[in-house]
Amino acid sequence: MNQFKVFTIKKGLQEENTKIAETTRDELKKQGVFLVNIMSSPGSGKTTTLVSTINSLKDEMKIGVLEADIDSDVDAKTVEDAGAKAIQLHTGGLCHLDATMTKQGIDELGVEGLDLLFLENIGNLICPVGYDTGAMKNVAILSVPEGDDKPLKYPKIFGKVDVLIVNKIDVMEHFDFNMDLLEERVRKLNKDIIIIPISAKTGEGVELWVKWLREQIKGEN
């Protein structure tokens, strides 16, 4: 019985995706645009975190947002109202963005004059992490109500990202959430990860996140 070499096909697709991602990164660097890919599960507060970030930085830099969703334009309107240039990307049911989709979004949005560009990826902890989008940095958001055991269930995303934002710390007292235990679990997967606890709702900790962004952008320029 013949065996189909799915591995070979997958490898080929990933290699092509990587080439497009690397080209996108190079082009953005030449234009002085810093792209950050943000991933999380639904309800973690990605959009609220973005709005808080935009409000903190919009007076010192021009910001764009690629809002990815299966079928909605609510988030794009929200971040645009906050002061960012935004476009909604509909994936037609796909649970992730790859480098080609990201490049199409960048071309459609137009990034001339932008300093900072966010990609708000599709809401889940599995699919998006498998694809290089062309971002300079990858960020995950975990909210307190999701629990401190998520690194045990979804290790790949925590092992890959540069920063983990722990959101909704303002409600921590109402949940069985151990920040020290979360950090221990995450650092076993990724010893170099930066963990930033915040409340996007109250603003607590957001300045630490914004400070990190400033430093990364400055380092690229």
Neighbour tally for 39: CB within 10 Å? 27
What is the pLDDT, as a whole number, of residue 77? 87
Sheet of strand 194-197: strand arrangement: 85-90, 63-69, 116-120, 34-40, 137-143, 163-167, 194-197
* CA 29/CA 34 separation, integer angstroms: 7
Domains annotated for the chain, with CATH where assigned, are 6-220 (3.40.50.300)
CA 49 and chain centroid, separation: 11
What does the alpha-carbon distance between residue 104 and residue 99 come to, in Å, rounded to a whole number? 9
Backbone angles phi, psi at 103, to 5 degrees: -60, -40
Residue type, 112: E
Which of 5-19, 59-73, 120-134 has the highest average model confidence (pLDDT)?
120-134
In this prediction, residue 4 carries a pLDDT of 41
pLDDT for 97 beyond 90: no
Q: What is the pLDDT of residue 71?
A: 61
pLDDT digits (tens, 9 = 90+) for 118-158: 999 988 999 899 899 999 999 999 999 999 999 999 999 99
Helix, coil or strand: residue 73: coil
Q: How long a stretch of residues is the chain?
A: 221
pLDDT for 12 beyond 80: no
